[in-house]
């Protein structure tokens, strides 16, 4: 008699964004005349850059002719893409990551979920609270946690790193030593960052205690200020303790095109076992590469035109971020993030819970955001707004929130 | 101190096709003047069908404009694709699979590797021998096996279903009852099939004993003869015990374009837990959908033109299969498969091992095949040739093998 993976039964409710989608669908069905403004899920709205579109058309044409047709991709991804990444994301910042330490994938969500495969079930996991749900849920699924406490929503056996107003949303080194540490900077959901010196403390800690840092840098393109690391490998020794996850979703609008990569340095070892080789084995066995045409699209992001055009997109979204940040601050809200990240972390007014504020915003303003408590108990009384809408919709949403006059 | 997943250390050697690629690279570097003919890895050579190319260009244009741009895909894939699949792969055969039982993915390799996530580690696995390595390796990685016996290469705790000349390569019901049973029909690597009545016996067995059948139907489009099921759901009761894995790689040449799907019927339950819901949770948490443009390409495979054009591709490869089958049979080889599948399963001459024959073919004829022993110990003294080359290269390879006059 077959048995299911009972760890799945420990998961609380549905995947956050699926739950929101259902609420919004129900509202929309009941109020077909209302125009809903979506500042909820972190999905982009700007079309793909012209350089990317050109690369897609060109590579589609290659697939139409036997002479230029491409079948299975090399296991780690095409060299043309890995070389562009190594040169522009790493070498240009003085960081020595080689193309064969880069693994091209269908996105950072898959990688951040799948990376756990190569680590033992017994590892103790540390995550920020609030946190991108994928890090936590995938570890629940893998059996690295106990059950959730119904009151707090926290899973037994997980080390939570609270990110609160008191610590400026910067996770502090824990008392109990974890084995795997998930960090995300610029942060989803809080939209805040940590100074490079703070990140170096985490790297030093990981080296001292034999931890692996799983570093999600999906929002790197949004960094505007100095003193923030664009890659964890800017920190001394990080190549011996850190895996970096990167995405094309937010810097180039690939949420529906699907491309990402993960860096596993060869210097990252567990005794005499190379973690790089384990990941190579995992990927060559359970994954068959990103589409050729999408890898060509990724290459185009690194072309001169592609860099200029995608930077314009990021600037467009950051104008939205400023609009939200300033508009809501002027209206008396307490807001964080939004300076080096496309997310604004809003404190809910009065004693409202995150979901109460979600319902209020949906019902009274037809504006969709993401309840902070969906990212963890320390996210309660906060609310995430994203800058990925159109400028017009973003302005309109801010106006609607202001006119609610909750405060 | 972090610990790796030590189950990975039980894996034998590298992923089969990576090993072959390395041998071929070395030969090629040493013999730059030799034209290598590849009948090894199951990669296609014909370009994408015109209907697919048109759909790609059209959807790329949609991604270029804000009005028609698409971000994140629905969790299970776009309805336009799932509806086309349900109608044409299932309803047209009198099988009631609904679109919401279909999960679109980036390919059957990912799905056949990832599907294990939702089952307990304690499940006992049955695989054919020889077998597509992904089924076995992913279960080794998940800790569902003991170590490999160095002599036989077989993993402790796995139920092997030998597929040999004696049983016409049809797996027989085992004495010990497994929990998860992997079946692949038409079969990779043997290129053989089992009659629908035999498959029904497996379904009945699974229902009687509470097993799940993981049914890989990636080569369904190659079925030419009557009496072979095109989907396991043609068998009575299969919706209560079977998950079906499907691919666009071989019927439409998507090896480098990446698209597949998995059917998890809602009737498949473990007590009161829906296996469908577990897979939905797994995919919504650890996967973010196939690219929109690729899902549109998949939809085009089901258009009238797409069906006609992809059928022509399949016919083209089946002409290659006949060429290999007849050419080698005439030359005195014992050959199987190749009638309802793009693979020919050749018995190595004399007492040659599979790798000896691989080396001989590479060295003397510059022809690349796949050693049968790479698919399991019962594959020893066999050799897989694929029909996915060009017709000219396939003919040339057959001629070279004939002229070796080994027999």
Query: What pLDDT sits at residue B16?
Result: 76
Nearest to A64 among B47, B134, B180 (CB): B47
Query: What pLDDT sits at residue A15?
Result: 65
Model pLDDT for residues A119-143, shown as the tens digit of each residue? 999 999 999 999 999 999 999 999 9
The DSSP bridge pattern shows strands B180-184 and B212-216 to be parallel
Contacts of A253 in chain B (CB under 8 A): 69, 71
Does the pLDDT value for residue A200 go beyond 80? yes
- Rounded to an integer, the average pLDDT of B130-147 is 96
Q: Could you give the percent of chain B with pLDDT greater than 90?
A: 93
CA distance A109 to B286: 6
Answer whether A15 touches B (CB < 8 Å). Answer: yes
The domains of chain B are located at: 13-47+307-404, 52-304
Across A138-142, B272-276, B401-405, least confident range: B401-405
| Interface residue of B7, B79, B100, B285 to substitute, partner A, most A CBs within 10 Å | B285
Give per-residue burial for B293-311: e unless 16+ CB within 10 Å, then b: bbbbbbbbbbbeebbebbe
Question: Do the chains contact at B69 and A53, CB–CB below 8 Å?
Answer: no
Query: What pLDDT sits at residue B18?
Result: 76
**CA gyration radius for chain A?**
21
CA distance B267 to B282: 18
| Interface residue of B22, B110, B144, B256 to substitute, partner A, most A CBs within 10 Å | B256
Q: Which of residues 335-374 of A touch B (CB under 8 A)?
A: none
CA distance B13 to B240: 37
Q: How confident is the model at residue B72 (pLDDT cuts 50, 70, 90)?
A: very high
Closest CA to A158 of A126, A183, A188: A126
CA distance A269 to A239: 10
- Rounded to an integer, the average pLDDT of A136-165 is 95
Q: How confident is the model at residue B19 (pLDDT cuts 50, 70, 90)?
A: confident
Tokens of A136: 């936590």
CA distance B185 to B235: 14
> CB of A105 within 8 A of CB of A262?
yes
Question: Do the chains contact at B46 and A69, CB–CB below 8 Å?
Answer: yes
Answer whether B302 touches A (CB < 8 Å). Answer: no
Does the pLDDT value for residue A259 go beyond 90? yes
**CA gyration radius for chain B?**
21
Query: What pLDDT sits at residue A41?
Result: 77
Does the pLDDT value for residue B17 go beyond 90? no
Tokens of A67: 């002479």
Does the pLDDT value for residue B74 go beyond 70? yes
Query: What pLDDT sits at residue A379?
Result: 96
Model pLDDT for residues A2-32, shown as the tens digit of each residue? 999 999 999 987 667 778 888 999 999 999 9
Model pLDDT for residues B344-384, shown as the tens digit of each residue? 999 999 989 999 999 999 999 999 999 999 999 999 999 99
Model pLDDT for residues A341-399, shown as the tens digit of each residue? 999 999 999 989 999 999 999 999 999 999 999 999 999 999 999 999 999 999 999 99
A216 forms bridges with which residues in the sheet? A184, A245
Q: Which of residues 310-339 of A touch B (CB under 8 A)?
A: none
The DSSP bridge pattern shows strands A125-129 and A159-162 to be parallel
Answer whether B141 touches A (CB < 8 Å). Answer: yes
CATH architecture classification, B52-304: 3-Layer(aba) Sandwich (3.40)
Query: What pLDDT sits at residue A14?
Result: 64
CA distance B173 to A46: 56
Query: What pLDDT sits at residue A152?
Result: 85
Cα of A366 to nearest chain B Cα, Å: 21
Answer whether B41 touches A (CB < 8 Å). Answer: yes
Query: What pLDDT sits at residue B188?
Result: 96
DSSP H or E stretch at residue B270: strand B269-270
- Tokens 């089924």 belong to residue: B135
CATH T-level assignment (fold) for domain B13-47+307-404: 3.90.1150
- Measured at the CA of B27, the angle between CA B22 and CA B32, to 5 degrees, comes to 125
Query: What pLDDT sits at residue B396?
Result: 97
- Tokens 């089946």 belong to residue: B318
CA distance B295 to B77: 8
Query: What pLDDT sits at residue B399?
Result: 96
> Which residues have C-beta within 8 Å of that of residue B72, sequence separation ≥ 6?
A41, A43, A255, A256, B288, B289
For residue A279, the chain B residue with the least C-alpha distance is: B8
CA-CA-CA-CA dihedral for A202, A208, A214, A219, to nearest 10: 20
The DSSP bridge pattern shows strands B242-247 and B260-263 to be antiparallel
Closest CA to B184 of B248, B268, B108, B104: B108
Contacts of A46 in chain B (CB under 8 A): 66, 69
CA distance B117 to A9: 13
Tell me which of B405 and A10 has the higher pLDDT: A10
Model pLDDT for residues B283-309, shown as the tens digit of each residue? 999 999 999 999 999 999 999 999 999
Answer whether A120 touches B (CB < 8 Å). Answer: yes
- Rounded to an integer, the average pLDDT of B317-335 is 97
Tell me phi and psi for residue A212, to 5 degrees.
-110, 130
CATH number of A52-303: 3.40.640.10
Question: Do the chains contact at A109 and B286, CB–CB below 8 Å?
Answer: yes
Model pLDDT for residues A268-283, shown as the tens digit of each residue? 999 999 999 999 999 9
Query: What pLDDT sits at residue B231?
Result: 98
Answer whether B291 touches A (CB < 8 Å). Answer: yes
Query: What pLDDT sits at residue B14?
Result: 64
Does the pLDDT value for residue A402 go beyond 80? yes
Contacts of A294 in chain B (CB under 8 A): 291, 294
Does the pLDDT value for residue A405 go beyond 80? no
Q: How many CB pairs under 8 A join A and B?
A: 249
Give per-residue burial for A324-337: e unless 16+ CB within 10 Å, then b: bbebbeebebebbb
Q: How confident is the model at residue B28 (pLDDT cuts 50, 70, 90)?
A: very high
Answer whether A269 touches B (CB < 8 Å). Answer: no
CA distance A69 to B45: 7
| Interface residue of A66, A254, A285, A320 to substitute, partner B, most B CBs within 10 Å | A285
Tokens of B286: 């650890």
Mean pLDDT estimate for chain A: 96
Residue A138 Cα distances to A26, A84, B5, B142, angstroms: 28, 31, 15, 15
Reduced to 3 states (helix: H, G, I; strand: E, B; else coil), residue A345 is strand
- The CATH number, out of the four listed (3.30.2350.10, 3.90.1150.10, 1.10.3720.10, 3.10.180.10), of the domain defined by the range A14-47+305-404: 3.90.1150.10
For residue A57, the chain B residue with the least C-alpha distance is: B57
CA distance A220 to A251: 8
> CB of B171 within 8 A of CB of B183?
yes
Does the pLDDT value for residue A218 go beyond 90? yes
Q: How confident is the model at residue B12 (pLDDT cuts 50, 70, 90)?
A: confident
Model pLDDT for residues A281-306, shown as the tens digit of each residue? 999 999 999 999 999 999 999 999 99
Nearest to A117 among B5, B106, B122 (CB): B5
């Amino acid at each position: 008699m077959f048995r299911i993976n009972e760890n799945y039964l420990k998961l609380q409710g549905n995947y956050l964004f699926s739950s929101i989608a259902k609420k919004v669908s129900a509202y929309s069905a009941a109020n077909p005349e209302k125009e809903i403004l979506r500042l909820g899920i972190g999905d982009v709205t700007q079309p793909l850059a012209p350089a990317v579109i050109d690369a897609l058309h060109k590579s589609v044409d290659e697939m139409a002719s036997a002479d230029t047709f491409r079948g299975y991709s090399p296991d780690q991804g095409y060299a043309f893409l890995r070389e562009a990444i190594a040169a522009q994301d790493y070498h240009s910042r003085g960081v020595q990551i080689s193309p064969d330490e880069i693994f091209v994938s269908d996105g950072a969500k898959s990688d951040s979920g799948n990376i756990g495969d190569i680590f033992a079930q017994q590892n103790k996991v540390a995550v920020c609270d609030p946190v991108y749900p994928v890090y936590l849920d995938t570890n629940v699924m893998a059996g690295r946690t106990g059950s959730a406490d119904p009151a707090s929503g926290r899973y037994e056996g997980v080390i939570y790193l609270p990110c609160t107003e008191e610590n400026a949303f910067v996770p502090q080194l824990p008392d109990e030593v974890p084995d795997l540490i998930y960090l995300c900077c610029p942060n989803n959901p809080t939209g805040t960052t940590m100074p490079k010196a703070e990140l170096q403390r985490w790297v030093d800690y990981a080296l001292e205690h034999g931890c692996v840092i799983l570093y999600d840098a999906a929002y790197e393109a949004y960094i505007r200020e100095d003193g923030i690391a664009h890659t964890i490998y800017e920190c001394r020794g990080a190549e011996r303790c850190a895996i970096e996850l990167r995405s094309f979703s937010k810097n180039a609008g690939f949420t529906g095109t699907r491309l990402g990569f993960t860096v596993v340095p060869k210097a990252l070892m567990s005794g005499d076992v190379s973690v790089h080789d384990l990941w190579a084995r995992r990927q060559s066995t359970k994954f068959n590469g990103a589409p050729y045409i999408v890898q060509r699209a990724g290459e185009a992001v690194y072309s001169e035109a592609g860099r200029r055009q995608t930077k314009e997109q990021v600037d467009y979204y950051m104008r939205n971020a400023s609009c939200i940040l300033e508009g809501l601050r002027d209206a008396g809200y307490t807001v964080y993030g939004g300076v080096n990240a496309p997310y604004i972390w809003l404190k809910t007014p009065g004693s409202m819970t995150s979901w109460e504020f979600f319902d209020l915003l949906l019902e009274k303003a037809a504006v969709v955001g993401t309840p902070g408590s969906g990212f963890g108990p320390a996210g309660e009384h906060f609310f995430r707004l994203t800058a990925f809408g159109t400028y017009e919709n973003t302005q309109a949403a801010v106006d609607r929130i202001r006119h609610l006059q909750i405060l």
